Structure 1
Amino acid sequence: MTEQTAEPTDAAAPAPAPLPAAAPPPAPQDPPLTPAEDSAPAAPRPPRRVLRAALRWTAAVLVLGGLGTGTAAGITAMERTDVPGLATRDDGRWDYPALSLPALPAGAPRPFADFNAAEVHHADLRRLLLPAPAGATVDKKLDGGWVDIARYVAEYAKDDRAALTEQLENSALRHIAARGWTMPDGTSSRVYLLQFNSVAYSTEFQDNLFDNGSLPLPLAGTAEPAVDEGWNATAGAEFTMAHVYSEPEPHGAEQVRHAYVLAGDTLALVVHARKGGAGTEAVPFHQTVVLQNQLLG
């Protein structure tokens, strides 16, 4: 209640007695302490400086954690962005250039979109070929352009070429693009992309390569291939399938590793070969298969 003051008068008058002040509301009562709490000394409050430092560190950890999560989500949810090039390390990886997926024609879907039932790659097939790594000597006959059926079937034994040629000529094959190179250590690499009208035709041709068996037709100059036990079956892009093989000991004048990657309407053949007793290295071969797989996925 506000305090009132009397107006002054000509004659002095005794001052009125002050009104009683309003009683303050009762303070809330704390619950009774337990014996342990009653005997324990009160914990000192941390200094403000310590609290501010703790809050700053907590915020920093949360920000860094959010950045890490966002980066991982960006990589796993790549649309038409850069594909990681797997940096060169001491484990023998090759130094591939930065890779990126080519732009799609306006309105064209990605190969594994829900409304692309045929799983067609609408980008230029030649732009989906893996480029040669640093230090490679590019094969002038396999320079990343189109090749004919005869060049592709030359990768197989002579006895199998006629049947493969007939299968490809009677199928819905659209294009074959290829690139080859040789590394300073003598490893030669060749990558072929065979594009069909739909995933049904590419799958049918892949099945013919396996001739209803567990292993594919051997490549020229090699014995029956063996499954590459060092290959990580979970590697590669979603919705694609990779079959990876290596020529077992004893091999001939050169050891050959090869892989098939089925990605929608396109079947890729990746070949690494190297003469001499050392044979081909597994690490750069697996790296090549992974990167070509990602470009198709």
Structure 2
Amino acid sequence: MTEQTASPAATDVPAATPLPPVPQDPPVLPAQDPTPAAPRPPRRVLRAVLRWTAAVLVLGGIGTGTAAGITAMDRTDVPGLATRDDGRWDYPALSLPALPAGAPRPFTDFNAAEVHHADLRRLLLPAPAGATVDKDLDGGWVDIARYAAEYGKGDRAAVTEQLENSALRHIAARGWTMPDGTSSRVYLLQFNSVAYSTEFQDNLFDNGSLPLPLAGMAEPDFDEGWSATDGAEFTAVHAYTEPEPHGAEQVRHAYVLAGDTLALVVHTRKGEAGAEAVPFHQTLILQNQLLG
């Protein structure tokens, strides 16, 4: 009988020996502060603090922006601070004309005669909005006779003679009438130097305190509503009004001495109310600024 050999499949295979476990590093624990930690505030308190902090930051930003905005605005542009309409006229934005190359400003150390080198016509105050411009006084040159006509008939010859014998260079003028009937006229008389303009102004004050009255008015009186602090630096302003009871037309006028130039500003208005002080002072201030 033939002996058979056992199949490899039937051979007994010893069981696999289990591998030893891989050693694990011990977990790293956070360092402990020897000082015990303070207990955390409740979440409701944290949320409240965060809300108030955010509110303060927002309001602070708004307040800063508002302050900066108000600083850059005129009083009449700020809601709640607007000035009520007080009768001022709506003048266009003013700007000084360019000077010839190398020419100094009138009130500098290099301009002893205080000469305005800019075109005198460009230094005239423009007419405000709503005005009807006088065709004879449209911002150009006028002669001595036209200027002298502002005075009473008995004084025109003397005024004419003084101007003809002085170092007058030329006269620029502009006039207009407002819807309420106020008539405005501005004359700029330019001389060779401040000495000649001062001399002519002094001659207009025949009694040393009040000037020659203008046509249509009685003896002028000082304008008590005008403050000397309203004038521009280096200029001198003398303002007058026709006291009550005035005639059918009240006259307000003023002289502005600014270096080589003397300005005459006139406001007249018929009726019992007469010429209002506010627009007269406004016109005077703006014309003064252009010359200063």
Global fold match (TM > 0.5): yes
* TM-score relative to the length of structure 1: 0.73
Aligned length: 242
Q: CA deviation at 1:63?
A: 9.8
Q: CA deviation at 1:253?
A: 1.0
Q: CA deviation at 1:278?
A: 1.2
Distance in 2, Cα, partners of 1:185 & 1:109: 41
Distance in 2, Cα, partners of 1:57 & 1:111: 49
Per the alignment, in what secondary structure is the counterpart of residue 291 of structure 1? helix
Counting aligned pairs with the same residue, the percent is 83
Gap change, CA 1:201 and 1:230, over 3 Å in 2: same
1:272 aligned partner: 267
2:198 aligned partner: 203
2:229 aligned partner: 234
**1:113-143 per-position Cα deviation (integer Å, ceiling 9, x unaligned):** 1110000000000000000000000000000
Distance in 1, Cα, partners of 2:62 & 2:111: 44
Q: Is the 8 A contact 1:88 1:94 kept in 2?
A: no
Q: Is the 8 A contact 1:137 1:182 kept in 2?
A: yes
Unpaired runs of at least 5, structure 2: 1-48, 74-81
Gap change, CA 1:122 and 1:52, over 3 Å in 2: farther
* TM-score relative to the length of structure 2: 0.74
2:217 aligned partner: 222
Aligned 1:112-131 pairs, distance under 5 A? 112-131=107-126
Distance in 2, Cα, partners of 1:211 & 1:189: 25
Distance in 2, Cα, partners of 1:137 & 1:190: 12
1:251 aligned partner: 246
Per the alignment, in what secondary structure is the counterpart of residue 239 of structure 2? strand
Gap change, CA 1:104 and 1:60, over 3 Å in 2: farther
Distance in 2, Cα, partners of 1:238 & 1:55: 45
Q: Is the 8 A contact 1:88 1:95 kept in 2?
A: no
Aligned 1:15-34 pairs, distance under 5 A? none
**1:205-260 per-position Cα deviation (integer Å, ceiling 9, x unaligned):** 00000024200000001101000001121002100010001100111110010000
- Aligned-residue Cα RMSD (Å) equals 2.7
More deviation, 205-214/263-272: 205-214
Gap change, CA 1:223 and 1:61, over 3 Å in 2: same
2:162 aligned partner: 167
Distance in 2, Cα, partners of 1:179 & 1:292: 12
Unpaired runs of at least 5, structure 1: 1-46, 72-86
More deviation, 89-98/139-148: 89-98
1:134 aligned partner: 129
Distance in 1, Cα, partners of 2:225 & 2:273: 17
Per the alignment, in what secondary structure is the counterpart of residue 138 of structure 1? strand
